[in-house]
Amino acid sequence: MKLDLSPTSWGRVIVVTAAGTAFFIAVAFFVDSFNFPYLSPEAVWRAQVTDLMLPLVLGGSFLSFLMWKIRQLAIAQRDLSIVAATDSLTAVLNRGAFSMLVEAYLEQTRRQEHANSGALLIIDADHFKLINDRLGHDCGDQALKLIAQAIKGQLRGGDIVGRIGGEEFGVFLPGVDPAQSWVVAESIRRRIREMDFSPGGRPCPLSVSIGGTSFTGPTTFEEIFVAADRRLYTAKSNGRDQVSFDPAGASPVPLPSIATVH
């Protein structure tokens, strides 16, 4: 079992406290050892007890308190980083954190010799203004939460999802080919279409339009975002509640009751 020595762990507190206290004891014995030849056996024994207990009590207490405070600070810093990167309503990444993580991945792939693939999806809730106007903004917030949960439920552990606009979400799929990314996009669209959203007993069907683009080799976040956004516009203008993907050949063998890929 590997010992956790991260800044937020108790393992670091214990290890540093124990190692530091042992160092203090060793220093005390070393300094006092020059006096041992001139002391009686009883005085040597008292000096050794003092050299052991004083660093143990004072040094151990000081180090344990110091490391505990450092751990609290590290936890607070981690929590603040999470809060700063998270959309408070939907609990996914905010736009800044999403774009930063995607660009960091793409920057890493540009430095590698072998080609890397992936895809970016932009997901936009259809007729969302009507939901707010008809049911109120609280119900609109509930709808966004449900959409975010549905998106996360269709993704793998390494995929990245963020809220990039009022009712827009971005999904980055590293290491997938066009056919795989199209299947993910369609599964997200279907899952949201099938959700039961009836605030106050009033049925309100939800749907999303999805624009997507795939890449192989070096690219930038701006390039793939523009391409996916263009496809989102196509999905919207062609009737909404569908997936529009670039390249057009990304669609796999058609499944029953799916939207046409443009």
Q: Is 167 a catalytic residue?
A: yes
Residue 62: C-alpha distances to residues 7, 28, 47, 73, 190 (Å)? 18, 16, 22, 17, 59
List the catalytic residue out of 113, 167, 168, 222: 167
Q: What is the dihedral of CA 246, 156, 218, 229, to 10 degrees?
A: 40
3-state secondary structure the chain: CCCCCCCCCHHHHHHHHHHHHHHHHHHHHHHHCCCHHHCCHHHHHHHHHHHHHHHHHHHHHHHHHHHHHHHHHHHHHHHHHHHHHECCCCCCECHHHHHHHHHHHHHHHHCCCCCCEEEEEEEEECCHHHHHHHHCHHHHHHHHHHHHHHHHHCCCCCCEEEECCCCEEEEEEECCCHHHHHHHHHHHHHHHHHCCCCHHHCCCCCCEEEEEEEEECCCCHHHHHHHHHHHHHHHHHCCCCCEEEECHHHCCCCCCCCCCCC
Residues catalogued as catalytic: 167
